[in-house]
Amino acid sequence: MGYSVPVLEEDGRTWVDHQVRTYRELENSDVVINVYPTGTGKTLAVLNAIRKLNIDRVLIIAPVNELINQYEATVERFVQEHRLGHRVFLVTSQSLEEMDSSSHSRALRSILSAERAIAITNPDIVFYVLLQRYGARARSGDLLVKLFKFPQLVVFDEFHVYDPGRLFFAFALIATSRYFNLRQKYIFMTATPSRYVDNAFTKLGLRVSRIGLEENSSQDFKPAASPVYVELVRGSGKLDEHMDLILQIVKEHADKDILIVSDSLSRLAKLAHYLRSNGIEFGMVTGPMSRGERITALRKRLILATTTIDVGYEISRPEKDRQGLDVVIFEASTAEDIVQRLGRVGRVLGKNRTDVPAYAYMFVPARIFSAVQKILEESNDRLGFARSVQSKLSLSVENLKREYLGPQGLVLAFYEDFFTLLFPKDYKDLLREYFQLLESLFGLERNFLSRHSRRIELDFYYFAKSLLDEECESAEHVLERSPQLREKIRTTYQDDELCGACAVYRKFVEKLILSFRSEFTQKVYVVDPKKFCGTERFVYDKFFVLTRYRVRKLGKSVIPVDMRGIVNEAYELLEPLEKPEKVHLSIVTRSEKKFFIPTKVESQMFDMKALELDGLPVYRLSPEEESECFFMDLAVREAEINGWKEKVVIGTDAIKAVSYLSEKPWECDLFPQ
């Protein structure tokens, strides 16, 4: 199941075919989608396009900071080697802090004003600039304009990692470029392309070229992946339920480099504890660890990793004459995870030995086991297996239109509200057409869902924020502008309830709608002397810590001074729990609707109040909907609502549930009750 890639000669050196085709296709196209397999040099394809087409200003968007750091070194080397003259800028919170500690937005304005520059950033910063929520001068507009006008080329790397709810930032950039004739070009790099983008490009009338691995007998080939033996392990798809088997595999391949990947930090911690107790040495790569600790861990022969390693970490082993990784053992619940993680093992492009077999052990959930097994039996090589997995395991429940019919549609409404401020009032027709175009990319027809349908929720956010910030004049101005809101407040809340409801709603919007990562967490300081999570001290999600480990509460004095503004509790991890601790959710609400934001939520664990959950949305489930949640990977929980036990999903899962399961998700009421 190995494969080779075509190569050709140009400018006195050998290139992988796509590293030349990318710039040639980009000359006559608006968009190039490079879908070559992982480990075949897609970054070099981008840099060569910048060089050959003499592109002055480039914006590269990578999903995680580790990949951004990796990009910086690669781009710097290429720029110096070819004397391109570009300045290379890292655009992260840390790098902007180093440039200007008093104003990150001022540092970003400086970068976006450069004449010949390659800026490498994450989608979070782009998202917050688009919503004019970045920096102290938020909603000033000039930073947004600079972002739109800066790039001649925009590069989206690892585009497959964005779920439908996070695609807004990409579509907003492309729609603006097209509608306002900014003449920008785009490169999408992914081994598992999103099925949402093709339809969007068609609607925008963009010229699109797709570059994939097509074996052409007229070209020379170089091996890119060694043969791999794949074993599909029957069971639940969770590594911690097969620890004896994994120990056996590790011992059988004692002379090889091995990577183990789990979707769960707690399951990985249990496996780590088990392997350690059996005398097995390893390195760990997890979210809580520092970058330096992860780099050290990557040098180990055996590496245990969470999904942190999926993007941004290259395990190359340059001292070896064969592949860097010989064995991969991994969990995977989606087609994308299967393709990406299988693609990590046996990479041999540029290696002297290319025929040494690699080994892969896949643990997939029961709901897809039979399908994956059949695809595996029918596939003759890696590429055929990857194509079949992506086409036959596509999750039909994911639908871009459905994603934005529910509360997630507030993102579009906020964007319109802020964007409109950039223009004089007589640009009304221009803006109407622009927003119609943007909405069409999400499949939102105007006669089906008006972009003004969430106007009252927007106004309630502005009112709530002003009221809580004690800006009474601004709060009253919102009510004068929106008599509908005034009436809604009057009929929904008593005078002594209003401030509490405003606090709940503001938290909901800022945590789950206006946050790119949509996290609803409380952070605590963790002391992990046995390094279950790979490092001794870190800040992490309280819910995760309390539900998956036996812990001891520590005094606040152990929290470093510079972290006391972030966290106010500390815990020591004693040992992983065999099963996650159940949390008792007690919800008080007046709402009788399926989706609601309760004004009061309490959680009990270990006979103590565990979590503050204000602003947490809830979706009540019918028995039929429980099975649908299973296939959508939504976590079903039991909660006590007004004294009655019900099955629910909460947080971001509730937002997804109302979008997909409700007949009319746009009618969900976002006012806390």
* Span 548-571, pLDDT tens digits: 898 999 998 999 888 877 788 899
CATH pick for 226-392 out of 3.20.20.220, 3.40.50.1970, 3.20.20.70, 3.40.50.300? 3.40.50.300
Report the C-alpha gap between 531 and 265 in whole angstroms: 12
Residue 197 structure tokens: 């983008």
For residues 420 and 434, the answer to whether their CB atoms sit within 8 Å is no
What's the pLDDT at 215? Answer: 57
Average pLDDT over residues 132-161: 85
What's the pLDDT at 610? Answer: 60
This prediction has a pTM of 0.91
Average pLDDT over residues 416-424: 87
What's the pLDDT at 580? Answer: 81
What's the pLDDT at 343? Answer: 87
Among all chains, which residue has been given the structure tokens 């709060």? 475
Question: Regarding predicted confidence, which is higher, 253 or 633?
Answer: 253
Angstrom CA distances, 388 to 159, 163, 339, 597, stand at 20, 21, 10, 41
Question: Regarding predicted confidence, which is higher, 48 or 418?
Answer: 48
Report the C-alpha gap between 597 and 508 in whole angstroms: 8
Share of the chain above pLDDT 70, in %: 94
Residue 158 structure tokens: 């690892």
Residue type, 156: F
Give pLDDT tens digits for 581-620.
777 888 889 999 999 999 877 776 654 456 667 888 999 9
513-517: which pairs have CB atoms within 8 A and are 24 or more residues apart? 513/407, 513/408, 513/410, 513/411, 513/414, 514/131, 514/133, 514/411, 514/414, 516/123, 516/124, 516/127, 516/128, 516/166, 516/169, 517/124
For residues 266 and 549, the answer to whether their CB atoms sit within 8 Å is yes
What's the pLDDT at 274? Answer: 93
Question: Regarding predicted confidence, which is higher, 606 or 490?
Answer: 490
Q: Is residue 395 over pLDDT 60?
A: no
For residues 116 and 56, the answer to whether their CB atoms sit within 8 Å is yes
Longest dimension (CA), the chain: 78
State whether residue 434 is helix, strand or coil: helix
pLDDT, averaged across the chain: 88
Give pLDDT tens digits for 438-468.
988 988 866 455 555 688 999 999 999 999 9
Average pLDDT over residues 470-498: 92
What's the pLDDT at 313? Answer: 78
Angstrom CA distances, 314 to 257, 556, 612, stand at 13, 38, 39
For residues 525 and 563, the answer to whether their CB atoms sit within 8 Å is yes
Give pLDDT tens digits for 12-26.
888 989 999 999 999
Give pLDDT tens digits for 611-649.
667 888 999 999 889 888 877 878 888 889 998 999 999
Report the C-alpha gap between 437 and 462 in whole angstroms: 26
Report the C-alpha gap between 284 and 272 in whole angstroms: 8
Report the C-alpha gap between 101 and 287 in whole angstroms: 26
Terminal-to-terminal C-alpha distance of the chain = 57
Report the C-alpha gap between 479 and 505 in whole angstroms: 16
Strand partners, 572: 527, 552
Q: Is residue 218 over pLDDT 80?
A: no
For residues 204 and 174, the answer to whether their CB atoms sit within 8 Å is yes
Tell me whether domains 3-216 and 226-392 share a fold: yes
CATH pick for 3-216 out of 3.40.50.300, 3.40.50.280, 3.40.50.720, 1.10.1060.10? 3.40.50.300
What's the pLDDT at 22? Answer: 95
What's the pLDDT at 447? Answer: 45
For residues 326 and 358, the answer to whether their CB atoms sit within 8 Å is yes
Domains of the chain: which residue ranges?
3-216, 226-392, 584-667
